[in-house]
Structure 1
Amino acid sequence: MRLPDSQLAVLEAASATDPTAVDRLADETDLDPAAVTRAAFDLRDEGLVTVDETTDTSAELTEEAHEYLDDGLPEVRLYKAAIEAGADDKPVSMGQLIGASGLGGPQVDIALSNFARKGYGSIDSGEVTADPDADPDSDPEASALETLAAGEPVDDTDLLDQLERRELVEQSERTVRKVTLTEKAVTALMEGIEAAETVDRLTPEMLTSGDWQDVEFAEYNVAADAPSVEGGRKHILRQTADRVKDVLVGMGFDEMEGPHADADFWINDCLFMPQDHPARTHWDRFALDVPPIQELPDQLVDRVESAHREGVGEDGEGYHSPWSRDFAEAVALRGHTTSLSMRYLSGFAGADIEPPQRYFSVEKVYRNDTLDPTHLLEFFQIEGWVMAEDLSVRDLMGTFEEFYNQFGITDIQFKPHYNPYTEPSFELFGTHPTTGELVEIGNSGMFRPEVLEPLGIECDVMAWGLALERLLMLMYGFEDIRDVHGTLCDLELLRETEVVY
């Protein structure tokens, strides 16, 4: 019998009585594990070995888990602080215990959410009661972390899954293959096996010299397992953004572009947003500690300030609230891409503003929102405006119906709304294809005279800001936008989601 060198090496290193792991065979034969695996499958096909496969699960501690090994789990620290404060006798205020335990930041929420779950006590109306019979020293999660830190396995899969949900361990699986010789192999080894020179490709030199006649070509086992390789691809959110751009260009729009960090003047003042509006505080915006943008058009600044203070027209009523140029020049991350619309409508961006005109952008915006399934700190906004004579709300609604129809969404609903910069205004809603719930997908309206007159616009302008991520939810049925991008992104979901065109 003649066998390739790699197969013969594996046969000689394997045992007929004790299954030998591929990694050990690789060490003994000086072959890489992939070569040993290929040889083992080829030998199995010849009936010379058996290959047994098992799945080995391992768990590694995260950086957060290592911190808890030193300081203790947050809920355990809270419980110990509660016992020391006498919470096992009478309730103690939560604030007092948090301070005594030294917890801070996200650890506070972690401690509170696990305190009652583990039976350490109860929390009611801001007061904590501790169970005197609880035993934090035998906390199973803490014990599991210590076991893993010592390099020993934890057999409780439910406990490991809980630690993984808490992001304290990262579990991984790998296939372990073990090779055992068959009787046929033992007999062949006793009779003697000759090593055959094998090659995996035919070269010009072999053809020229005639050596190809004396070599044995390796056979390819196309059914053998191979490592999975995932190629790169454009993110589905970016693909949808490109589709939106194609649709709007097809509807006759030109694209806008501009800075992500801009003067508050362009972001809010031009939109007739009073400077003492809550949305312009640090609660809703990201102000930047950088020098102000002082290159603002003075005449436009004066007209915008006048609109804020006095209004426009004979019956104008301004806000009669404080207005500061220093605040207008301050730099912040844009909370909406309407700052681009203001730059373009003012002519400051060099755009042609002779009606009729249509412009759009699909750009990122930043808001200090609370993270949840439909809100992020940064997201993409589909900005757009149309400038023409005698526009009406029906024109605006018809534009939306035409736009969303391109994505197979035909059940758009409208609800009246208030905006400081548009009148009339309305929000848009679509039906989620999975939950059946109405999802807000945008805001829109007709720009008010207090916005247009300082810009020198004498005709109607209808405008909107639509959420690209919400459009994605309606198109693909995502229920949590954090599955699509961010630290919780589901990579398998992105790989498997079909792009709709």
Structure 2
Amino acid sequence: MQLPESQVAVLEAASADEATSVDALAEATDLPPETVTGAVFELEDEGLVAVDERVDETIALTDEGREYAAEALPEVRLYEAALEAGADTDPVQMGQVIGASGLEGPQVDIALSNYARKGYGTIDSGEITADSDADPDADAEANALATLKGTGETPRDAVDVDADTLEQLDRRGLVGISETTVREVTLTERAVTELMAGIETAETVGQVTPELLTSGEWEDVEFADYNVEADAEQFEGGNVHILRQTAERVKDVLVGMGFQEMEGPHVDADFWINDCLFMPQDHPARTHWDRFALEEPTHIDDLPEDLVDRVERAHKEGVGEDGEGYHSPWDEDFARALALRGHTTSLSTRYLSGEQIGEIEPPARFFSVEKVYRNDTLDPTHLLEFFQIEGWVMAEDLSVRDLMGTFEEFYAQFGIEDIQFKPHYNPYTEPSFELFGTHPTTGELVEIGNSGIFREEMLEPLGVECDVMAWGLALERLLMLMYGFEDIRDIHGTLCDLELLRNTEVTY
């Protein structure tokens, strides 16, 4: 029997009595692991070896995980500081507790996002409480970090940590989980028989090279057999992401409905993002754990002074004879603070005020399909960044029926005709309502957007003298209704399901 040199080397190094790993065979034969792997599969096809595959998991703490294993989890430090401040008796100002905890930078947000989740207490309106019955010593994540401390890479089955806790630590980036495919080889009876009879090394060539052709040696060498029945290696080409394809489809639909597209910065002043929307500066959505503020630069320099004065007056005094405003603090320095936009309505305020492209005369229709950023808790329907379908119509005598009819026409273009509406409250629209659609797989109602008629307190400072109806719709939720996705993390982000994306048929 004749075999290529690499296959002969593998057979001679392998054993019929015990399995030998590919790495061990590579070391014994002095061949690269990939060469040994190829030879093993070819020998398996010939019935000369049996190959057993398994996936080994190893776990190791990340740098952040090692830091918390040595010091304490941020939420535990926050809880201990809250107890020291007496928050188990009465609510305490959160700034005081954070300062006492010694937490800085991102650790503050980490502590706040995990504090209530673990039952250490509550956080509400800038105050914190501590549950005296909470027990940090029973914190499963903290105990798991202590177990893994100083172990380096450890086999998963050797770690006494439950799967849910390990998954949570992995999601927080405190542990790294590595998967390695281990292949072990055992000689078959046929291989033993052939080895005893003697196997010759075949001087074969597996590939035609330029050197063989130019030297003429190709006429004298023996080429290896080409297995036309072997599975070819699969190559996955690039493709436009289904989310981007749907975004382009949305743009086409809205342009077809007579809308023009808006453009603007992803980083903007709180003035454009919230103050122009008649959002009070003490609104919970404007706190640092709901938005992503910029560290450098921190503030915008250029804001239209007259508009700033009018917006401030609307917040403090209201608009019109019956307007009262919020009677709450209004700080121009806060309005100039820069942050990643939490909604694309910042584009709407720029355009409606005339600052972006000049004064706009009614009737007018504008839209955008752009990314927004929110410090939400990740779950099947929420991400830290997502795409919002922003739109507004400026005209005389608009009504809620006009708004509902616009939605029905828009969603019908995507085969969705069961939109439901629910009254809602927004600081910047009145009346307001949320939109819901029925998920095609689960049958549950899924919130897909928010809308309403802009309030006078918002429009008057911007210089708009007619009605404006507006909305913010979620592009990812539209995909859920179109394709039956149940978890938006499957379609984009680090956990996306590539096979799902490759095999989903795009609908037009």
Superposition map of 1:76-91 within 5 A:
none
Partner letter of residue 51 of structure 2? Answer: D
Runs of 5+ in structure 1 lacking a partner?
Answer: 82-91, 116-124
Contact 1:41 1:224 in 2 (8 A): no
Residue 420 of structure 1 corresponds to which residue in structure 2? 427
Measure, in 1, the Cα distance between the counterparts of 2:65 and 2:453: 53
Pair 129,240 (structure 1): closer, same or farther in 2 beyond 3 Å: closer
Runs of 5+ in structure 2 lacking a partner?
Answer: 81-87, 92-97, 121-129, 170-174
Residue 84 of structure 2 corresponds to which residue in structure 1? none
Measure, in 1, the Cα distance between the counterparts of 2:116 and 2:430: 47
Partner letter of residue 460 of structure 1? Answer: D
User: In structure 2, which of residues 163, 166, 172 is the aligned counterpart of residue 164 of structure 1?
Assistant: 166
| CA apart distance, 1:384 | 0.6
Task: Please tell me whether residue 433 in structure 1 is matched to residue 430 in structure 2.
Answer: no
Measure, in 2, the Cα distance between the counterparts of 1:68 and 1:296: 43
Pair 160,24 (structure 1): closer, same or farther in 2 beyond 3 Å: farther
Moved more, 241-250 or 484-493: 484-493
Measure, in 1, the Cα distance between the counterparts of 2:214 and 2:239: 43
Q: What percentage of residue pairs aligned between the two structures are identical?
A: 63
Pair 405,159 (structure 1): closer, same or farther in 2 beyond 3 Å: same
Residue 476 of structure 1 corresponds to which residue in structure 2? 483
Tell me the SS of whatever aligns to 2:398: coil
Moved more, 25-34 or 160-169: 160-169
Measure, in 1, the Cα distance between the counterparts of 2:238 and 2:257: 31
| CA apart distance, 1:363 | 2.1
Contact 2:58 2:154 in 1 (8 A): no
Task: Please tell me whether residue 463 in structure 1 is matched to residue 470 in structure 2.
Answer: yes
Tell me the SS of whatever aligns to 2:448: strand
Residue 267 of structure 2 corresponds to which residue in structure 1? 261
Pair 461,62 (structure 1): closer, same or farther in 2 beyond 3 Å: same
- Residues 240-267 of structure 1, C-alpha deviations (whole Å, 9 max, x = no match): 3333223222323222111223233322
Measure, in 1, the Cα distance between the counterparts of 2:411 and 2:18: 65
Task: Please tell me whether residue 329 in structure 1 is matched to residue 310 in structure 2.
Answer: no
| CA apart distance, 1:275 | 4.2
Task: Please tell me whether residue 8 in structure 1 is matched to residue 14 in structure 2.
Answer: no
Superposition map of 1:7-406 within 5 A:
7-15=7-15, 17-47=17-47, 49-63=48-62, 126-128=131-133, 145=148, 149=151, 155=157, 161=163, 164-167=166-169, 170=177, 172-180=179-187, 182-183=189-190, 186-187=193-194, 190-191=197-198, 193-201=200-208, 203=210, 206-207=212-213, 210-221=216-227, 233-282=239-288, 284-288=290-294, 290=297, 292-313=299-320, 315-319=321-325, 321=327, 322-351=329-358, 353-406=360-413
Partner letter of residue 295 of structure 1? Answer: D
Pair 68,490 (structure 1): closer, same or farther in 2 beyond 3 Å: farther
Structure having the higher Rg: 1
Pair 26,402 (structure 1): closer, same or farther in 2 beyond 3 Å: same
Moved more, 222-231 or 383-392: 222-231
| CA apart distance, 1:206 | 4.2
- Residues 426-478 of structure 1, C-alpha deviations (whole Å, 9 max, x = no match): 22111233333322221112223333333333333221111223223333334
| CA apart distance, 1:349 | 0.8
Tell me the SS of whatever aligns to 1:149: coil
| CA apart distance, 1:413 | 0.9
- Residues 236-293 of structure 1, C-alpha deviations (whole Å, 9 max, x = no match): 4444333322322232322211122323332233323344545445464445464543
Tell me the SS of whatever aligns to 1:54: strand
Pair 453,233 (structure 1): closer, same or farther in 2 beyond 3 Å: same
Contact 1:262 1:332 in 2 (8 A): yes
Contact 2:49 2:191 in 1 (8 A): no
Measure, in 1, the Cα distance between the counterparts of 2:147 and 2:283: 51
| CA apart distance, 1:193 | 1.8
- Residues 316-341 of structure 1, C-alpha deviations (whole Å, 9 max, x = no match): 52416354544443434333211111
Tell me the SS of whatever aligns to 2:422: strand
The total of aligned residue pairs comes to 469
Partner letter of residue 346 of structure 1? Answer: S
- Residues 15-55 of structure 1, C-alpha deviations (whole Å, 9 max, x = no match): 455554332332233322232233333344445x2223132
Tell me the SS of whatever aligns to 2:258: coil
Tell me the SS of whatever aligns to 1:359: strand
Contact 2:428 2:454 in 1 (8 A): yes
Tell me the TM-score normalised to structure 2 length: 0.74
Tell me the TM-score normalised to structure 1 length: 0.75
RMSD of aligned C-alpha atoms? 4.7
Measure, in 1, the Cα distance between the counterparts of 2:147 and 2:228: 42
Partner letter of residue 5 of structure 1? Answer: E
| CA apart distance, 1:214 | 1.5
